[in-house]
A and B are shown apart, each in its own frame.
Chain A
Amino acid sequence: MRTTAPLSFLSLVTAGLLLAGCAAPAPTESEPAPDSTADGAFTLYSGRDEALIQPLIDLFEEQTGITVDVRYGNTAELGALLLEEGDRTPADVFLSQDAGALGALSDAGLFAPLPDDIAGAVPAGFTSTDGTWVGVTGRARVVVYDGERFTADELPDTIDDYVTDEWNGRLGVAPGNASFQSFVTALRVLEGEDAAAEWVNSLAANGPQLFENNRAILAAANEGVLDAGLINHYYWFASAAEVGVDNMRAQLKFLTAGDAGSMVNVTGAGLLTSAADDADALEFVRFLVSLEAQTYFVEQTYEYPLLPGVDAPAGLPSLDGLVNPELDLSDLDDLAATQRLLADAGLI
């Protein structure tokens, strides 16, 4: 392109901007009032996978006669989609794979406050502090390791010991992943900025194996090409359900209770502002924290139930042993500082 070409290029862009600009302001005023009566249907954006959640939705539809139109996607894409849609979203409920997305949408003012009986159904620490979304299930951070090369005893018990020389080049992490960043935020909240920065820098200096997500880390450990990695516990169970527990080469190690590496993150659900008065949508959110749904999650997805009185999946350490009492999940929405930390260390 010659020097003047960028000019023509710019003018095209400007034309496009004008086009978008003219069109933008019109619709906001004429939004119809949200329907306050139940019409027997609502739309759910599900960041959770169809195979895991659809049976529960079928059950809900059967019991209530309410039709659920579900849009499946991954949590990150649906979160970005909801932010882009703003108050024009067709969605009534968002079911998210992690608390970070819920925090981001809540910060953007996209959620309507939930009634106390729903927001308060789950103990504090596992739900929003302002009642804009409710925690549904818990997933613990764990270390996944190559079970043919190690036993659980041979592995360190605290997150600090995984960034020592001994682990140079051997630890798998997914620094771009929401659950990893939630963990680093927890580290900052629990141990202070300096300690967190030191850990992150040690990790970066230690030549970690970088992955795109938890699943890829698990697969690598399971194939024997990675010694250990940081993931959420339930990925292992989901994989074991497909190939059989006995065929799993990768094994899980739970870190010392109270260590930031053992924090529990949650999945959760929020009601979009436009559905503030939608009784059908609300009923679904209430259903998610009911005894029936919580039992379903325990049995089918191996996640921690958050409703008091429902037992954790068999074979897992109890939630009480993992909880970090000082940790408030709503602190986890302070992602910007975490990302600066990771960016400075060259991890993202």
Chain B
Amino acid sequence: MIVAPELASSAAGVPDARPTPAALSRLSAHRRPPLALVVAAIVAASAAAIPLVYLVVRSVESGLPTIVETLARPRVLEYAANSLGLAAATTASALVLGTAVAFVLTRVRVPFARTWLLISALPLAVPSYLAGYGWLVAQPGLNGFLPSWLLLTAVTVPYVSLPVAAALRGASGDLEGVARTLGRGPLRAFIVATWPSVRPAAIAGSLLVALYALSDFGLVAMMRFQTLTWGINAAYSASFDRAQAATLALLLVVLALVVVTGERAARRQLPRAAARAIAPRTVGRVTLLSFLPIVAAAPLVGVAIPMLGLLTRLLEAETLRAIDAPRLLGAVGSTVGVALAAAALAVLLALPIAALAARHRGRLVTAIESVGYLGHALPGIVVGLSLVFFALAVVPVLYQSIAVLVFAYAVLFMPKAIGTMRAGLGDVPPRLIAVARTLGDSPLRAWWRVTVPLALPSIGIGALLVAIATMKELPATLLLRPTGVQTLATELWNRTVVFEFGAAAPYAALLVLVAAVPAVILSGVRSAAKEEL
């Protein structure tokens, strides 16, 4: 979704007669994928399917009547409608805003463009529950759909703006110029000429936004908007009714599959585009100022205001305790440690799935890729419990070890890497691989010498997205961490549950700060990724 995704998309098979890289890759799409790759992808997908297996087991054990009774509750329909509505609205607004931000930052000569790009990446570093809490401090009456929608949009915009910005830099400005000279307005020209070439990146980013919105619990709980995750949580907390929670979670899975299928359909009809970048244009000061709200909205709503809210709590609190530095540092250490490990494992699991999806098609590929996305659509507690179930059944020795915790993160967040890497791998011109093969390289060696170096930036981006998400994760961490191990998120939770918002503030600030590091790198990698090709 990052580098020049329009090429990747053609691998998905657009009718196209010209002898282009796309056509070449289409040829390979018709070939049977290598068996080893299929096996590796199935293994990775099986890992991602563990939560699904668990949900089916737990749901079925209650019997069909109970399942029907649960699903027939009037409230459940409302939960589902709320979840879908929120996901749809958030995706639409993040798509529009993210594209606009990317457009301004790449097409207009903005002072401190680099800094702005970095700032626009920052909302990624703020956990949704923290954004919700910070806003409630400032505006206690907030509740319901509207604030949930606006805040979720603010924290998810970078999923769209960063990849689209990268795609725009490689997109064809000349066509847009032609459209302009033919009398189209700027917006029309953009839609007609440029949008098609950034659409794959925007759609891949939108998928992440949609799945995030479906699975989010922290923010909707804060804003009292009753989605399916709210219902799932209530089932656990009031009745310890795992069967009922599992049934609701399966409903969430169905919604997620609808979303993933929709993304595949939208991705399928992909036009290609020439890759000639155009230079940012200089605009007048007034125009520039009118762009400011577009670029500043998400960082302001998603980062600045919540952080300010937390800061006021820090200063108000009468019981502000002395900061326990060793404990704080310990939490930073374990947070960074598990995040790095999770990023590595998630990339490893996502790699075969992405490689398969980049060059091959068919029902099996579709199924494998869809399953790969599941973890991202489920609330952390569901994935956490499913891995408790799985670890105790299969590797009891590793239960409550770092290994299982890291594995859970990989299952949860591997989807963040799949889309990026699929695009990156798909972009590698098959011609180059063919050349390597004619020079006598084995397939594996050709892959290692050609594909890996060219796809590396997109792999890095996937890893960074996983690392950021891991740092912020809470419910699965609470269930699966080794007893006694604390991350910044669990320490933050420890303090907020007992109203010590003052004591929680340093942990909150540090969490955002630590998660901002990969976010900042991310805004840099993307430009590097572009220069790579």
Chain A residues in the interface with B (C-beta under 8 A): 1-2, 4-5, 7-9, 11-13, 15-17, 19-20, 23-24, 27, 43, 49-52, 69-77, 79-81, 83-86, 88, 90, 100-101, 104-105, 175-178, 180-181, 209-212, 215-216, 219-220, 223-225, 238-239, 241-244, 247, 335-336, 339, 343, 346-348
Contact = CB atoms under 8 A, between A and B. Distances in A.
Closest 10 pairs between A and B when the two form their complex, measured CB to CB: A176-B234, A223-B140, A76-B237, A8-B367, A225-B141, A23-B394, A16-B53, A104-B240, A242-B499, A16-B49
B207 to A, nearest CB: 15
A242 B367 contact: no
Contacts of B490: 72
A1 B394 CA distance: 32
B56 A76 contact: no
A77 B475 contact: yes
20 contacts: A8-B367, A12-B49, A12-B368, A15-B49, A50-B498, A51-B500, A70-B483, A70-B484, A74-B237, A75-B237, A81-B479, A85-B392, A100-B240, A104-B239, A178-B238, A181-B238, A210-B226, A212-B221, A243-B316, A346-B75
Contacts of A9: 367, 370-371
Given A1-B370, A104-B240, 5 more contacts: A49-B494, A51-B495, A77-B237, A85-B388, A343-B75
Interface of B: 42, 45-46, 49-50, 52-54, 56-57, 73-75, 136, 140-141, 221-222, 224, 226, 230-231, 233-242, 245, 257, 261, 264, 316-319, 363-364, 366-368, 370-371, 381, 385, 388-390, 392-394, 396, 399-400, 475, 478-479, 483-484, 490, 494-495, 497-502
Contacts of B475: 77
Contact of B317 (A49, A51, A84, A243): A243
Q: Which of B54, B257, B499 is most buried by chain A, counting CB atoms within 10 A of its CB?
A: B499
A88 B236 contact: no
A7 B362 CA distance: 13
A8 to B, nearest CB: 4
Contacts of B56: 13, 17
B238 A224 contact: no
Contacts of B478: 72-74, 77
B140 A20 contact: no
B140 A224 contact: yes
**Majority secondary structure, B binding face:** helix
Nearest to A211: B224
**Majority secondary structure, A binding face:** helix
A18 to B, nearest CB: 9
Contact of B240 (A76, A176, A219): A76
B71 to A, nearest CB: 11
Contact of B483 (A90, A219, A241, A242): A90
A13 B52 contact: yes
Contact of A79 (B73, B224, B240): B240
Contacts of A72: 478, 490, 494
Given A20-B53, A90-B400, A238-B498, A244 B236 contact: no
Contacts of B45: 12
Contacts of A219: 136, 140
B483 A43 contact: yes
A17 B57 contact: yes
A1 B141 contact: no
Q: Which of A181, A244, A343 is most buried by chain B, counting CB atoms within 10 A of its CB?
A: A343
A112 B76 CA distance: 37
A77 B237 CA distance: 7
B215 to A, nearest CB: 16
B366 A1 contact: yes
Contacts of B399: 88, 90
